[in-house]
Amino acid sequence: MAQWLTSAPLDLAIVAAKAVLMYATALIGLRFGERRILAQWRTIDFVAAASIGTIVGRTALADTQTYMVGAVALASTIAVHRFVALGRFNPVFRRMVDHRLRLLVIAGQIRRGELRRCGLTEDDLYSELVAAAITPSPTFGMCFSNHPAGCL
């Protein structure tokens, strides 16, 4: 069989382990990172997408990496992403991988401390309000949160 198509089982196990470790490292790093870089994705989605893009690119272009190595790394990344996504139903696990929701406006009052914790400015808040066709008023009682989907 062609050398570029297969790899030894131990090599595949090492690749799977490295993919899981890199995923976990990126997840932990991004969990403590600034929220704004993630746009509308959750951290786990961003890590999975970046990992998949890297694995596909490296496997396709590197002379030293076989198809099986790339396939195992990709399958490992997808499997750990699914495991983490399911783990988010557990409240303790969810606190480790997701930012908690924050109320940015209560009864018409902007909570500037919460805006700062989320890495948002008042202009960011007003832009979201305008995009959602919401007009703030003194009786405005919306609960805007730093939800990953950017929803009001």
Q: Kindly report, residue by residue over 84-134, the tens digit of the pLDDT.
A: 888 889 999 888 888 777 888 887 788 899 888 888 888 888 888 788 777
The neighbouring-strand residues paired with 103 are 145
Residue 36, pLDDT > 70, answer no
pLDDT at 90: 93
Q: What is the pLDDT of residue 99?
A: 76
Residues of the chain above pLDDT 70, percent:
78
Contact present, 30 and 47 (Cβ < 8 Å): yes
Residues 120, 36 contacting (CB under 8 angstroms): yes
The reported pLDDT for the residue numbered 136 is 64
* Report field, pTM of the whole predicted structure over 0.75: no
